[in-house]
Amino acid sequence: MDLKVKVTDRIYWLGTNDRRKHLFENLWPLPDGVSYNSYLVTDEKTALLDTIEMGTGGDYVGWIERLLTEAGRTELDYLVINHMEPDHSGEIGDIVRRWPQVRIVGNCKTFKILEGYYGITENLVEVGEGDTLDLGHHKLQFVMTPWVHWPETMMSYDTTEHILFSGDAFGTFGTLDGAIFDDEIADFDTRYLGEMRRYYSNIVGKYSNMVQKAFAKLGSVPIDTICPLHGPVWRSEPKKVIDLYDRWSRYEAEPGVVIIYGSMYGNNAATADYIARKCAEAGIRDIRVRDASKTHLSYLIDDVWRYRGIILGSCAYNAQMFPTVERLTTELLHMGVKNKALGLFGSYSWNGGGVRNLKAFAEQIGWPLVADPVDVFGTPTPEKLSACDAIAQGMATVLKNCDAQ
Ligand code: FEO
């Protein structure tokens, strides 16, 4: 690309849009693609902050050469690595081959992974918490933010112009379609908000406590611009994205309910619809019903993050939960999701297994039940379904109390 996009007078955005990839990390759907951002500082010293996924940027090295030339420079003095995941480190090899003298800035954990991936062990500048790299006008201070999203992850904070190079944090799925800055996007909430929460819940959510630790470190510094590795650059309303991440990492959820079920022949689907109707009658105004066999796990996790109320249903399947529901519960346990109210239902034909294992899940994850679980034998007739009324009532009571807080 030959775009010349200035974040500030001496800082350029160098990003690319990936519309080819179907699955991020070969797991999470990308219906609207994803962007990979990196940034070039052309100060008294020049520095590249992170790179992009290999092969997605065309003549990425040539692009950097041209921007350096325009600034009257030829050398790249520093490569700062805030995050080593290959969607950002993919072009490191080409950078080092083009500028073999470049000094690579990272922490001790960065360099272990750097050697493992790229065999690079020379020209390393190790930094730790609070260390500063003086580029001239800009001075980068390093903030260690392990597990946001990998153990080596750090952020770089420009103390001169209060710019935070935040790594994966404050990123989103979705390409940058011409608009690169937040103030160039008229409909952020329609275009990106859901995808940003899905990105957060799928990629970063497991490390929410580490996100809160990062917030604690950054709480006292002014932030005028946020330059993440995915999604828009926040130069007008950085507080908006900070507030979103703060909310999600504290498991603050909306007062609605998602009902997720596994159903082989439609019995649990009918029960889910019954409970959904009873939830509406009980006053809940935001209700989603999902078939775990149809809706991708990525979106189910997003729904769980979004809503305070979770109602899970599973038929028995080989004396276990239905596999798609089991996969979801395993992932939620793995992520350690907190602060949910839970309802459970299911069905069986002989020995059961769906609800029994859902109860075990509830105990493991520690979400309180809003009512006794209902396990329907055979067809969910009106008489059998009436036992589910308590689930809807219990959920409505919990959500009303949340609203009142
Ligand atoms: Fe966008 Fe953790 O990489």
CATH of domain 254-404: 3.40.50.360
Question: pLDDT band at 2, cuts 50/70/90?
Answer: confident
CA distances in angstroms from 328 to 22, 225, 260, 314, 401, listed in the order given: 21, 36, 10, 11, 27
DSSP-based three-state secondary structure for 393 = helix
In angstroms, rounded to a whole number, what is the distance separating the alpha carbons of residues 194 and 306?
A: 9
Question: Which residues have any ligand 1 atom within 6 Å of their CB?
Answer: 83, 85, 87-88, 149-150, 168, 229-230
Q: Are 151 and 168 in contact (CB under 8 A)?
A: no
> What is the b/e burial string over 59-86, where b = at least 16 CB atoms within 10 angstroms of the residue's CB?
ebbebbbebbeeeebeebbbbbbbbbbe
Q: Which atom of ligand 1 is nearest to the CA of 171?
A: 1
CA 389, CA 274: separation in Å to the nearest integer?
9
What's the whole-number mean pLDDT along residues 54-83? 95
- Please name which of 227, 240, 225, 255 lies closest in space to residue 192, comparing C-alpha atoms: 240
Tell me, what's the pLDDT at 404?
57
Q: What is the mean pLDDT of residues 290-319?
A: 98
Compute the radius of gyration of the chain from its Cα atoms: 24
- The yes-or-no verdict on residue 55 having pLDDT over 90 is no
Ligand 1 atom nearest the C-alpha of 153 is 2
175 to 32, 44, 58, 179, 248: CA distances (angstroms): 6, 32, 16, 9, 22
Instruction: Note the pLDDT of residue 101.
Output: 97
CA-CA-CA-CA dihedral for 155, 200, 29, 324, to nearest 10: 140
Mean predicted confidence (pLDDT) in 62-71: 96
Question: How would DSSP label each residue in 69-133?
Answer: HHTT-----EEE-S--SHHHHTTHHHHHHHSTTPEEEE-HHHHHHHHHHH---SSEEE--TT-EE
For residue 401, the model assigns a pLDDT of 87
Start-to-end CA distance of the chain, whole Å, equals 51
Task: Give the predicted TM-score (pTM) of the model.
Answer: 0.96
Task: For residue 379, count other CB atoms closer than 10 A to its CB.
Answer: 12
Report the distance separating Cα 281 and Cα 237, nearest Å. 39
pLDDT tens sequence across 366-395? 999 999 999 999 999 999 999 999 999 999
- The pLDDT value recorded for residue 60 is 96
- How far away, in angstroms, is 25 Cα from ligand 1 center? 9
CA angle 46, 141, 70 (to 5 degrees): 20
The predicted pLDDT at position 402 comes to: 80
Atom index in ligand 1 nearest the CA of residue 229 equals 1
Share of the chain above pLDDT 90, in %: 97
In CATH terms, are 5-249 and 254-404 the same topology? no
Is a pLDDT exceeding 60 seen at residue 71?
Answer: yes
* Phi, psi dihedral angles at 169 (to 5 degrees): -60, 140
Residue 57's pLDDT is 82
Dig out the tokens for 131 from the structure.
């260390």
Tens digit of each residue's pLDDT (9 = 90 or more) over 155-189:
999 999 999 999 999 999 999 999 999 999 999 99
Q: Report, as an integer, the average pLDDT of 313-342.
A: 98
CA 14 to CA 316: how far, in whole Å?
51
Nearest Cα residue to atom 1 of ligand 1: 168
Distance 179 CA to ligand 1 centre (A): 21
Based on DSSP, count helices (H) and strands (E) in the chain, helices before strands: 14, 19
Ligand 1 closest atom vs CA 203: 2
Q: Could you identify the residue written with the tokens 């929460």? A: 197
Average pLDDT, the chain: 97
**What are the residues facing 345 on neighbouring strands?**
313, 374
Atom of ligand 1 nearest to the CA of 149: 2
Say whether pLDDT at 245 is over 60.
yes
**67 CA distance to ligand 1 centroid (A)?**
25
Distance 23 CA to ligand 1 centre (A): 13
Kindly write down the DSSP assignment for every residue of 9-77, as one continuous string: TTEEEEEEEE-S-SEETTTEE-TT-EEEEEEEEESSSEEEE----TTSSSSHHHHHHHHHHHTT-----
Q: How far apart are CA 260 and CA 291, in angstroms?
A: 6
Domain boundaries, the chain: 5-249, 254-404
Tokens describing residue 189: 């909430």
Ligand 1 centre and the CA of 363: distance in Å? 32
Q: Tell me: domain 5-249, CATH 3.60.15.10, correct?
A: yes
User: Cα(53) to centroid of ligand 1, in Å?
Assistant: 10
pLDDT at 405: 55
Residue for token pair 């979400």: 367
Query: Which tens digit of pLDDT belongs to each residue from 328-374?
Result: 999 999 999 999 999 999 999 999 999 999 999 999 999 999 999 99
Helical axes 267-281 vs 389-404, angle rounded to 10°: 40
Q: Has residue 263 got a pLDDT over 60?
A: yes
